[in-house]
């Protein structure tokens, strides 16, 4: 099925991206339920999975993924640096394709009728931020770890003569909006966020204006997992917005935490976990953390509530499956 037919919500959401971001037809290619395109020299793919019936509605998982770096055999040594750098990420995770020795940024959203309003805005932001983050970070890692830029060309049109305007969105939109006060300061949704976590958290508190704190069971240490949701902790590059940080108190060396972060990113990429994969596992202040930042320009009702719920589900998922993760040969290899 082509996304152009718009025969279900998934392909309709893909079509919305193509139309609202004005993806140029001469630098894109249709790929089944999605498309790939070149905003500059990096290939980005956008697609929808087939629908999955869940809780009385059909859910479609939308993906955005962009080629980042050809690792040239240096991915293992670069993991700690990637894990630290992604603490300055936003809505995307670093994932690795060992067969191609290729590093990519990936994000996914579960779209359904109930959340279409914010999915439109956030998914567009994901796509623009992927492109901007690749341009911002690729040069550093290529230099420091002897990697190559994963640059390709359109198979018939060749390379672009000039980058697409989306390459400037970080400077034109994300940063200027982020210079203003967070759009989430004082909104009524803080109570909705509390309600979303009330039954799945261990302890919970909020001032209903600026932040929310929650804890979750952690069966492998003396501390609980901790979630911070904040409208007053700015992003170091994008400015103000809404920050989510879920800290997992594992006792291991930073190098191993970095491996775990990459492994968890890959699990979230390939598995239908029924929560949005918007953000990344990384090392934040030395702690294994899932970090997500929603820029001010993305503000729309429903984000705070749904992201809080996702974080609670993610915390329970990690706690439930942790023993399986640490037994894998991947972890000990």
What is the rounded CA–CA span in Å between residue 90 and residue 88?
7
pLDDT of 19: 95
- pLDDT under 70: residue ranges of the chain: 1, 327-333
pLDDT of 332: 42
What is the rounded CA–CA span in Å between residue 64 and residue 45?
6
Q: For residue range 22-33, what is the model confidence (pLDDT) as tens digits? A: 999 899 999 989
Tokens, residue 331:
């972890």
pLDDT of 311: 97
pLDDT of 84: 92
The number of beta carbons lying within 10 Å of the beta carbon of residue 205 is: 12
pLDDT of 331: 44
- Find out whether 231 and 185 touch, Cβ atoms under 8 Å: yes
- Find out whether 307 and 278 touch, Cβ atoms under 8 Å: yes
pLDDT of 57: 84
What is the rounded CA–CA span in Å between residue 39 and residue 144?
25
User: Residue 287's Cα: distance from chain center in Å?
Assistant: 18
Q: What is the mean pLDDT of the chain?
A: 93
Q: For residue range 192-215, what is the model confidence (pLDDT) as tens digits? A: 999 999 999 999 999 999 999 999
pLDDT of 2: 84
pLDDT of 330: 43
- Find out whether 225 and 216 touch, Cβ atoms under 8 Å: yes
Whole-prediction pTM: 0.94
- Find out whether 281 and 321 touch, Cβ atoms under 8 Å: no
Those residues whose C-beta lies under 8 Å from the C-beta of residue 96, and which sit 6 or more positions away, are 71, 75, 102, 103, 104, 262, 266
Cα distances (angstroms) measured from residue 279 to each of 8, 20, 35, 192, 265 = 26, 23, 22, 21, 9
């Amino acid at each position: 099925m082509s996304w152009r037919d718009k025969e279900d919500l998934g392909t309709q959401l893909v079509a919305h991206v193509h139309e609202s971001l004005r993806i140029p037809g001469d630098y894109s290619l249709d790929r089944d339920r999605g498309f790939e395109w070149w905003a500059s020299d990096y290939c980005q793919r956008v697609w929808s999975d087939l629908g999955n019936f869940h809780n009385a509605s059909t859910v479609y998982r939308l993906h955005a993924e962009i080629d980042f770096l050809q690792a040239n055999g240096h991915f293992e040594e670069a993991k700690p640096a990637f894990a630290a750098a992604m603490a300055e990420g936003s809505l995307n995770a670093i994932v690795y394709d060992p067969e191609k020795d290729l590093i990519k940024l990936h994000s996914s959203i579960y779209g359904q009728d109930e959340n279409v309003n914010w999915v439109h805005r956030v998914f567009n932001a994901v796509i623009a931020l992927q492109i901007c983050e690749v341009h911002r970070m690729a040069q550093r890692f290529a230099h420091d770890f002897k990697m190559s830029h994963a640059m390709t060309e359109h198979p018939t049109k060749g390379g672009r003569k000039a980058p697409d305007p989306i390459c400037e969105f970080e400077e034109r939109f994300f940063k200027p909006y982020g210079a203003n006060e967070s759009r989430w300061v004082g909104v009524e949704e803080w109570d909705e966020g509390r309600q979303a976590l009330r039954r799945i958290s261990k302890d919970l508190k909020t001032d209903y204006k600026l932040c929310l704190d929650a804890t979750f069971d952690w069966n492998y240490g003396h501390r609980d997992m901790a979630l911070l949701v904040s409208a007053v902790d700015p992003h170091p590059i994008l400015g103000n917005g809404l920050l989510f940080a879920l800290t997992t108190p594992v006792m291991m060396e930073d190098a191993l935490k970095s491996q775990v972060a990459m492994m968890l990113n890959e699990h979230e990429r390939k598995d239908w976990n029924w929560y949005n994969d918007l953000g990344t596992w990384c090392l934040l202040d030395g702690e294994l953390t899932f970090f997500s930042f929603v820029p001010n320009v993305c503000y729309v009702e429903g984000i705070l509530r749904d992201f809080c719920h996702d974080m609670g589900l993610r915390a329970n998922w990690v706690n439930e499956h942790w023993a399986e993760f640490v037994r894998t040969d991947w972890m000990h290899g």
